[in-house]
Chain A
Amino acid sequence: MALRTDAAALARKPQARKQRKEEAVTALGVVAPPPIQIESPNFNGSLATLFMCVRERKLDLLDIPLMPVCEAYFIYLLQAHVKDLDEAAAALSALAYLLERKAWALIPIAEPEPENEELLELIAPTAYEYDAAIAALQIWHEEREQVFFRPPDGGNDAYEIPFDIGNVTIQDLARAFEKLLTKVEPDEPKVLNKPRRSISEQMKVVMRVLSADWKALDELLKPPFTREDVVYWFLALLELIRLGQASVRLRKEEVEFSRSANQKNPAAKTPTPQHLNTQTP
Chain B
Amino acid sequence: MHKILLIIQREYLTRVKKKSFLVMTILGPVLFAAFMVIPAWLATMEDTEVKTIAVVDSTNIFYKILPETEFIKFIYPEGISLKDLQNSFEQLGYSAILFIPHNILSSNTSILYSNKQPSLSVSMHIENSIEKEIERQKLKANNIENLDEILKSVKTDIDLRNISWNEEGQEKESNTGLAMGIGYGSGMLIYFFIFLFGAQVMRGVIEEKTNRIVEVIVSSVRPFQLMMGKIVGVGLVGLTQFVLWVSLTFLFVGVVQKVAFPELSKTPTEQVLSQDIMNNQQLQKPQMNFTEPKPQMLEEIFTSLGSVNFGLILGMFIFYFIGGYLLYGSFFAIIGSAVDNEADTQQFMLPVTLPLIIAIFVMINTINNPDGQLAFWFSMIPLTSPVVMMVRIPFHPPAWEIILSALILVITFVGSTWMAGKIYRTGILMYGKKASYKELWKWFRYKS
Chains A and B bind each other:
no
